Amino acid sequence: MDRNQITGFSLLAILVVIYLLYNQHEQKTYLESKRIADSTARARNPRPIVDSSYKTVANQPVVVDSITEALRKLQPVSYYGIADTNVVLENKKLTLKFSTKGAYPTAAYIKNYKTYHDFNSDKSTENTLCLFKGSANRLSALLPIDNSKSTADLYFVPTKRTEPNGDETIDFSADLAGGRKVDIIYTLPANDFMMHCNIVLTGLNGTVLPVSWQSSLLTTEKDITNERLNTQIYYKFKDEDQDYFTVKAEEQSKQKNDPVLWYGFRKQYFSMAMVADDGLNKMDARFGYKADDSNVVAKNDMLFQMNLKPGKEQVASLRWFIGPNDYNTLNSYKIGMESMVPLGFGMFAFVKYVNRFALIPFFYFLSSFISNYALIIVLMTVVIRLILSFFTYKSYLSSAKMRVLKPELDEIKAKCGDDTQKFSMEQMKLYKAAGVNPLGGCLPMLIQLPILLSMYYMFPSFIEFRQKSFLWAKDLSTYDSILDFHFTVPFYGDHISLFTLMMTATSLFLAIYNRNMTPQQNDPNMAMMKYMPYIFPIILMGMFNKMAAALTFYYTFSNLLSILQQFVIQKYFINEKAIHAQLQENKSKPTVQSKWQQKLEEMQKIQQNQKGIPAKSTKK
């Protein structure tokens, strides 16, 4: 052995001795500081007892391979020395797997739900749904140390306990040496979808804590295209204002400087949301999806800041929702998260109030003692039709009045020829003399329109219909395909939905049944309106072919009830001879003009005077 080798070996030995002495000192300092911290913490709120099932390599013999390895291990043990293992938190609703490297959930399983694949597999016995899984999902904080060290790069020691009430807690602790450490504490209540997360900094001075939340939601439904159409980013400001954005294929970004109370990443029937009572500040979100990725619905990458109060121990508190878009569940948190169940937006945003205060309470009332959701749809439709029957009767009565006046209108049309303005005036005089309101058939229908629109939003959004079967429809939350084409027909789709065909057929039957309800149908100037009742159902057939079977079944049954209701009203409640006699009697009575009629007549007189036509008063 030459002199250089002896010198190198001696230096290596000295470094090893120095490292061993330093490590022994640091271990002693750490154990003493931990003992003091634990005793202090227990005095305030007892911390969990270390679960012996979680072993680390920190207690195993250290093997020094080189000077580089020895120098690397001079760093705190959390930087290198703990094996990356999985730890599990579980309750009646969720199973969450955590990585000890980074101390964040790497997988989330929602119990009592199945993916579409498992639901339709005869061999599958899986009764849990995987919402996310893999390294693309992480929650990390940038610590005010070593140029913003990320917790995702640290190795944590897990400490787990189960409370007598069933709550489970894991305290992930990373020692940063010198009296500095970080704890990430997760608590999962025994029967809840909302997990609590506290990031505790000890001996680290900072005013804000930057946090990164990355998530990648897996497909769970029949049609990933439809899932993506129903994937949005929701958020609510602390001043109660809310907004959302629909996720698109190209990456989008949104920045918000005002404090956000919660931020939600929603897909069709399941969501995740980050909640902070103190607010998420300076939110910077990026989201999108790759169209060719058949497993991931969409990805989300959000950065935000949390304020820290001065002190040796600083805490950033979060709540993390992982669960279904169940209206009652989301509403129970009382922070507006139920808005992630879309019940009306855009120009029809008003119908969400019809849903919230009328239809949804009625739906849950029926579901409290009826388990068949198709039967619930039937009962809701029948009850709604009965409640609106008065307005339906008024609509049919108005149509009957106009129908019995049709011969007189034809005579007026023959006299007026092509003078449409004169015909309109004479028509108005006839209606006024007979006591007929030309809008009488429209207003009752307008009253029913909010109900139809409310159902349009409610049924496809309610998770209660998910994987509930009826007749040939295996899943009422998606379309009921009876034949797949394996190619796409423009403006229609790649399959045939039988409920949609039935909805279209019953709509066309209604249009034919009502073809002589109003005299305007024979007016050549109303040709387009004459054919619209037949064209519109055909247009809707392509739009509704991919809609939820619950919705198309509702419209089909509603059409059948309309046919029956109209038949009964016209057969037993409307006597056209009596109506005609009453209208003729009305003509002999003096008429009193309303202010609206007076104003309309004045406008018509002005128009006639401009054309040089002498106007006649309609007063008697």
**Residue 272: exposed, middle, or buried by beta-carbon count in 10 A (0-12, 13-18, 19+)?**
buried
Confidence of residue 595 (pLDDT cuts 50, 70, 90): low
pLDDT at 113 over 60: yes
Contact 203/181 with Cβ under 8 angstroms? yes
Higher pLDDT, 48 or 266: 266
Confidence of residue 55 (pLDDT cuts 50, 70, 90): very low
Q: Tell me the average pLDDT across 462-480.
A: 94
pLDDT at 317 over 50: yes
Confidence of residue 30 (pLDDT cuts 50, 70, 90): very low
Residues 128-156 have pLDDT tens digits of 999 999 988 999 999 988 778 899 999 99
pLDDT at 518 over 70: no
Confidence of residue 601 (pLDDT cuts 50, 70, 90): low
Instruction: Taking each helix axis as running N to C, give the angle between helix 373-387 and helix 549-572, from 0 to 180 degrees, rounded to the nearest 10.
Output: 40
Report the chain's C-alpha Rg in angstroms: 35
Instruction: Provide the pLDDT for residue 206.
Output: 83
Instruction: Return the exposure string of 418-439: e unless at least 16 CB atoms fall within 10 Å of the residue's CB, then b.
Output: eeeebbebbbbebbbbbebeee
pLDDT at 20 over 60: no
pLDDT at 172 over 50: yes
Task: Kindly state the percentage of the chain with pLDDT values over 90.
Answer: 45
Q: Which two tokens stand for residue 12?
A: 């290596």
Higher pLDDT, 36 or 608: 608
Q: Tell me the average pLDDT across 495-511.
A: 93
Contact 155/79 with Cβ under 8 angstroms? yes
Confidence of residue 64 (pLDDT cuts 50, 70, 90): very low
**Residue 127: exposed, middle, or buried by beta-carbon count in 10 A (0-12, 13-18, 19+)?**
exposed
pLDDT at 321 over 90: yes
Q: Tell me the average pLDDT across 18-43.
A: 49
Q: Tell me the average pLDDT across 215-223.
A: 94
pLDDT at 523 over 70: no
Residue the block writes with tokens 């609509």: 395
Higher pLDDT, 323 or 71: 323
pLDDT at 225 over 80: yes
Q: Tell me the average pLDDT across 215-230.
A: 93
Higher pLDDT, 239 or 220: 220
Specify the 3-state DSSP secondary structure of 8. Answer: helix
pTM over 0.75: yes
Q: Which two tokens stand for residue 219?
A: 């497909």
Q: Which two tokens stand for residue 268?
A: 């069709």
Higher pLDDT, 599 or 44: 599
Amino acid at 470: F
pLDDT at 361 over 50: yes
